Structure 1
Amino acid sequence: MDETLALLTLVLAEGPLAPRRALLRSAGTARAALALGIAGWRAHGCTPAQCAALQGPDARSLATAQHWLQAPDHQLLACTDAALPPLLQDLPNPPLALFVAGDPSLAWRPSVAVVGSRSPTPGGRALAARFARCFAEAGLAVSSGLAAGIDAAAHTAALDAGGCTVAVIATGPDLAYPPGNARLQARIAAEGVVLSEYPPGMPARPGQFPARNRLVAGLALATVVVEAAQRSGALITARLAAEAGREVCAVPGSVLNPRAAGCHRLIRDGAALVERPEEVLELLAPALRQQLPDLQSRLAAPTEQAVSTALPAHWAGDRNYQTLWRALDHDPISMDSLITRCGLTAPEVSSMLLAMELAGIVVCVHGRYCRTP
């Protein structure tokens, strides 16, 4: 049995994740885990049903999963695989394995989760698109759960802005839920990345959505909630984000809008109140700058190799970015001096500098900024 087939066997043995994850990590490889036999499986906490599934996996399910994996840009990453994003590995309940459609390295990019109501108001949908577009233009990935409403609006806006988006779904990677998002899911797989911990052919089940939400929250440095009722899956994502030590932000709304009640509850419970996407970027700036060298190394896009003599096209028509770009020189300059030169506010300059750093056209040297040499 090869390693992929052995890993699929572990994935298809439905039930508690922890025993199978402990089994794989202890053995080192899926093949070695299966070779331990029933005694070894039971010693790691596998249930009788799981032991039976490990002994005799469903042939049809195995064939379906193997067929899906044969397509280009389809992969299966184990929790022991170095390609699995470290933010997911650090979760209290990380996935056993992930089915990946698209470029798995995109899941490593610093991201912000944008989540909310499945039936938003037109204003809420527009707000989600605005936030997602700004994050994408700043060089961040936009992650969400590919649900109807806010999720779909955020994914679409990120792609339309030429940015990266990561969709974590609650079905097998070959299915779309709701079915109306099938075309968007295919676009994300082609231009971004779709992740699922469920094998091909697995339909949507109620318990899989909260499990999916923990991965959405875990992948992102911050979760932004746009319109959520008091009983909403978005609030579950926000809670899981807080438990994972991530930032939680909520966009306030009208007290007459029941879809804003969940956001107001989050704010009362300590979430950051944000009205503009730049406020989220400012909140994340310290963590992003700390992660930048490792991320650039992982993504094979080190700042030192970036060469640019002009602003990227999507900023060339923005007067504020033009002003800041002209104020920057090849000699490092302080933030205060840049603010004085540009006549912009500190939050505006901070968020734009962060976006330029992520794009590789600006570097920060001991707290001072200059164009990339």
Structure 2
Amino acid sequence: MTPCPDTYLPWFLLTELPGLSPRVVKKLLHHFKTPEAVLAASKTQLSSVPDISSRVIKTILEHKTFESDAQKRLTRAQDSGYRVVVLTEPDYPALLKEIPDPPALLFYDGRFDISAPCISIVGSRNATRYGMDTAYYLAHRLTAFGFTIVSGMALGIDTAAHKGALDNDTGQTLAILGSGLDYIYPRHNRPLYCRIRKQGAVISEFPPDTAPLPGNFPRRNRIIAGLSCGTVVVEAAQKSGSLITARLAGEYNREVFAVPGSIKSSKSRGTHHLIKQGARLIENEMDIIDELSQFVHAENNRPSYEPTKKLPTMDKIQTMVYKNLDLYPEHIDHITASCGLTSAQVSAALLDLELSGLIVRHPGNKFSILEE
């Protein structure tokens, strides 16, 4: 049952007051214990809080000016079926509570088990096939150990990670938005939103009618890092929001993992930089599990996967072509040069391998092997 909006109005009002950052709100709550006490405090009482500016004090003293609008927005949110959890409730995620500036209030659509450990998987929006396959693979495997996959529901790596978790029937995933829940961003991911809310939750600290403004996304990233005992960066350029998430994870004393990529790819520069800075290089899910073994429940011991399928019989030319392919897409001209075969032989072999489901054709006449 959705609680009465009045229960959360002081919390919502406190977070909506202009000039009150999450860090300031946490400091005020630490001093006064409840949002009601903060809003009822006198100028003298507010002035006794260390490092609280006169502008913040003035805004709090004038909070009734904002109360009517806050009440309407909160009521609309709960009429839409969204749930609310606040910092002092037992359903508030414990790890997120530990960061310096946790959101005092979260809106969410769906359900989530706060006892399950979380791992965030983030990376480039304009990801390579290798990056998306890797994000999907890691998410799918990690959910088998009882981990919840956290990401930002962006295109590329985020989407692949969410789908990897969802395709495990018992997997749970959380999508953290840089907008309100009324704004499904990007719009292309509306079907994904619907899947996530049935097998996890879509979460935001912003009121539901908040548009996806650029300044919201760094704030979103701290929640992704704060919820998680570890953050995995799959692909990232040198200047990337994913690197912000990784930096925050490090500041929160959480584990940071990075997937190595091709030295030819600009999308690997960010992950390689993280590895140089001390992030754990990972080759598979067990590198993560070994590092975070304390979070793996006893009943979620290493799952038994089906043995690797044997490759179908290939003739000599097909074998030569297959051995010259990798997870990174290669142009047919490069494959031909590497094999020392004719263009006709390589083209025929590639077609046969594709029809056998062993390789994938990419735009631009490029090919790669299909990861198991």
In which range does the TM-score fall when normalised by the shorter chain?
A: 0.7 to 0.9
> Counterpart amino acid of 1:6?
P
When the two structures are superposed, what TM-score results if normalisation uses the length of structure 2?
0.73
Are 2:10 and 1:22 aligned? no
Select the residue among 224, 231, 234 that pairs with 1:216: 224
1:143 and 1:195 map into 2 onto residues whose CA distance is: 10
Using the size of structure 1 for normalisation, the TM-score is 0.73
Q: Aligned pair in 2 of structure 1 residues 60, 179: CA closer, same or farther (>3 Å)?
A: farther
Which residue in the other structure is 2:333 paired with? Answer: none
Change in 2 beyond 3 A, CA 1:260/1:5: same
Change (3 A) 1:41 1:199: farther
The amino acid of 1:152's aligned partner reads T
Q: Partners in 2 of 1:3 and 1:53 — Cα distance? A: 21
Amino acid at match of 1:34: L
- Tell me the CA shift for residue 98 of structure 1: 1.3
Q: What is the alpha-carbon root mean square deviation over aligned residues?
A: 2.6
Residue 101 of structure 1 is matched in structure 2 by: 109
Q: Tell me which amino acid in the other structure corresponds to 1:140.
A: F
* Contact residue 3 and residue 31 of structure 1 kept, 8 A: no
Aligned to 1:2: 6
The one of 136, 146, 163 equivalent to 2:143 is: 136
Which residue in the other structure is 1:339 paired with? none
1:29 Cα deviation from its structure 2 partner: 2.8
| Structure 1 partner of 2:36 | 31
Distance of 2:143 and 2:202 partners within structure 1: 17
Q: 1:196 to 1:49 in 2, by over 3 A?
A: farther
Secondary structure of 1:26's aligned partner:
helix
Q: Tell me how far apart the structure 2 counterparts of residues 38 and 197 of structure 1 sit (CA, whole Å).
A: 28
In the alignment, the residues of structure 1 paired with residue 16 and residue 264 of structure 2 have an alpha-carbon distance, to the nearest angstrom, of 46
Shift of 1:60: 4.2
Cα 1:169–1:52 shift into 2, 3 Å: farther
Q: Could you list the per-position Cα deviations for residues 108-166 of structure 1 after superposition, in whole angstroms to 9, with x for gaps in the alignment?
A: 41111110001001111111101111011222110111111101110111011120001
The range that moved more, 15-24 or 234-243, is 15-24
- How far is the alpha carbon of 1:226 from its aligned partner? 0.7
Distance 2:68 2:162 in 1: 35
What residue in structure 1 maps to residue 160 of structure 2?
153
Q: 1:7, CA displacement in angstroms? A: 1.6
Distance 1:260 1:49 in 2: 48
Determine if contact 1:220/1:246 at 8 Å carries over to the other structure.
Answer: yes
Number of the residue aligned with 2:119: 112
CA distance in 2, matches of 1:50, 1:82: 30
**Larger deviation: 117-126 or 48-57?**
48-57
CA distance in 2, matches of 1:108, 1:13: 32
Displacement after TM superposition at 1:69 (Å): 1.6
Deviation at 1:256, TM superposition (A): 0.5
1:175 and 1:182 in contact (8 A); partners too:
no
> Where does 1:132-211 land on structure 2 (aligned, <5 Å)?
132-162=139-169, 163-211=171-219
Matches within 5 A, 1:42-61: 43-44=48-49, 45=52, 47=56, 50-51=59-60, 54-57=63-66, 59-61=68-70
SS at match of 1:173: coil
CA distance in 2, matches of 1:243, 1:170: 21
Letter in structure 2 aligned against 1:24: L
186-195 vs 60-69, which deviates more? 60-69
Say which structure is richer in helix: 1
> SS state of the match for residue 56, structure 1?
helix
**Equivalent residue letter for 2:23:** A
Distance 1:127 1:53, change over 3 A: farther
Question: Computing the radius of gyration over CA atoms, which structure comes out larger, 1 or 2?
Answer: 2
Q: Is the 8 A contact 2:91 2:114 kept in 1?
A: no
2 CA distance for matches of 1:25 and 1:3? Answer: 19
Query: Given the superposition, is the C-alpha separation of residues 36 and 65 from structure 1 closer, same or farther in structure 2, using an over 3 Å criterion?
Result: same
- In structure 2, runs of 5+ residues without a counterpart are 309-372
Alignment counterpart, residue 291 of structure 2, candidates 283, 298, 311 = 283
CA shift for structure 1 position 316: 7.5
Alignment of 1:249 with 2:290, yes or no, is no
Q: CA deviation at 1:241?
A: 0.7
C-alpha displacement of 1:190? 2.3
What is the distance in 2 between the residues matched to 1:38 and 1:177? Answer: 41
* Letter aligned with residue 285 of structure 2: P
Kept in 1, the 8 Å contact 2:9–2:74? The answer is: no
Q: 1:212 to 1:107 in 2, by over 3 A?
A: farther
Aligned partners of 2:258, 2:58: CA distance in 1, in Å?
42
Counterparts of 1:224 and 1:207, CA distance in 2: 23
Which residue type is aligned with residue 104 of structure 2?
L
Distance 1:226 1:166, change over 3 A: same
Conserved in 2, the CA contact under 8 Å of 1:38 and 1:51? no
Tell me the number of residue pairs that the alignment of Structure 1 and Structure 2 aligns.
Answer: 298
2:238 is aligned, of 230, 240, 253, to 230
- Bigger mean CA deviation after superposition, 91-100 or 45-54: 45-54
Residues 253 and 99 of structure 1: CA distance in aligned 2, closer, same or farther (over 3 Å): same
